[in-house]
Amino acid sequence: MQTLTTLSFRDDHAVILDQTALPYRRATCTLDSLDAVAHAIRSMQVRGAPLIGATAACGVAIALRNQADDEALAQALDRLAATRPTAVNLRWALERLARLLRPLPERDRAAAAAREAHRIIAEDADTNRRIGEHGLALIRTIAAARPGPVRVMTHCNAGWLATCGYGTALAPVYAAREAGIPTEVWVSETRPRNQGLLTAWELGESGVPFNLIADNAAGFLLARGDVDLVITGADRVAANGDSANKIGTYLKALAANDNAVPFYIASPASTIDFGCPHGGLIPIEDRGGEEIRQLSAPDAADCLRTVHLANPEVACRNPAFDVTPARLITGIITECGISAPGALTDLFPEHA
C-alpha cells in the first residue's frame, strides 16, 4: 500500500521525501548535519508528528557523529526542540534519546543514538499498523450495517506520508482496503499549507477512492448525511483527551457532533502528553503570514509559480493548529485499542 519511503537513515545521514515538493513532483533530500535536520523539520520538508519525532532522533545521531560531549548533546537537543512547538512526538523522541545518552561515555553515544533512531523508525511503523487494525473494527461495523462504501472524512494528512509507515488516521482505511471493505474518503484541502493535497496524492497512489473538497464544504456534507465517520490525526493529545491537530479540525468536530457523526482521533501513545492536563496548555504554533498571502503551484508549462492572494501589507494571523475538546471526540484510536477521551490511562496504566 505504501509506495514511497518517507525516511531512511544510514547512521551518518538521513534521506527524506521532500514533502514541500509534493504533490507536484517527487524529490528527496539528504540530511547530513544538525542544521539540515532542523531546517527540514521547521520548513516542513518533513511533517506529521510521528515523522517529525523520528527525524529528530536521526538528527541527534547525526549531530553526535563527530563530537558527542555533554555540550554537543545539549546543543543538538535544544536546537531540534525549538523547531516545532506543538507536535509532542518531537519532545518525546528527544527526551527518549536524552535518557539513553546522558549516562553513556562520549565514545558510545553516537552509535547508541543511531541504534535508537533505527528503533524509533521501526516502532512507529508497527505502532501505526496496530492503530489500523483497531480502527478497522469501526469500519467493519459500519460496512455490516448497510451496502456501499464506508464514507470516511479526514483532515490534513495523517497517512504514511506523515509517519514511518501506514499512517495514523488513514491506517484504518488502508486496513479496510486490505480486508476487502470498500471505503471512500472525503479529503479537505487544509488551507493554508494544503496538506489535504498530500492526502489526495497519497490515496491516489494507494488506489483508495476519494473526493477532494474545499475546507468549508465539510459541514454541509456532514449535515447532508454523506459521512459515516470522521478520523483525524493529532499532534498532541492532552491527558484529558483534548487534542491538538491541524487548524480546521475543531470545526469538523463541531459539525460532526451537531449531526451525530462519530468523530475519532487516531494517535500513537507517543503523541499523548500525559504531563499536559488539558488542551488549554498545549502550545500553538503561529506561522508566517506569507503562507496565507501566497500560493505556489505549477503553471501550464509545469513550472512552479507563486501567486499572490493578498497584498504584502495585509495583516495576517496564521495559527497552525487548533484544539478539539474531549467532549466532541467519540474515541481515540491507539496502538493498544480505542479509548474514551477521558479514559486514556485505562489503556496506559503506567501514566495513571
Cα 284 to Cα 294: distance, rounded to the nearest angstrom: 22
The one-character DSSP state at 315 is -
Cα 214 to Cα 221: distance, rounded to the nearest angstrom: 11
The closest alpha carbon to 232, from 197, 275, 199, 193, belongs to 199
DSSP β-bridge partners for residue 229: 152
Cα 179 to Cα 136: distance, rounded to the nearest angstrom: 9
Which residues touch 94 (CB under 8 Å, ≥6 apart)?
56, 57, 60, 77, 80, 81
Q: Yes or no: say if 339 and 331 are a contact pair by the CB < 8 Å rule.
A: yes
Cα 348 to Cα 352: distance, rounded to the nearest angstrom: 7
Tell me which residues are annotated as active site: 235
DSSP β-bridge partners for residue 230: 153, 263
Cα 149 to Cα 319: distance, rounded to the nearest angstrom: 35
Which residues touch 232 (CB under 8 Å, ≥6 apart)?
154, 155, 156, 158, 169, 245, 246, 249, 252, 264, 265, 266
Cα 109 to Cα 14: distance, rounded to the nearest angstrom: 18
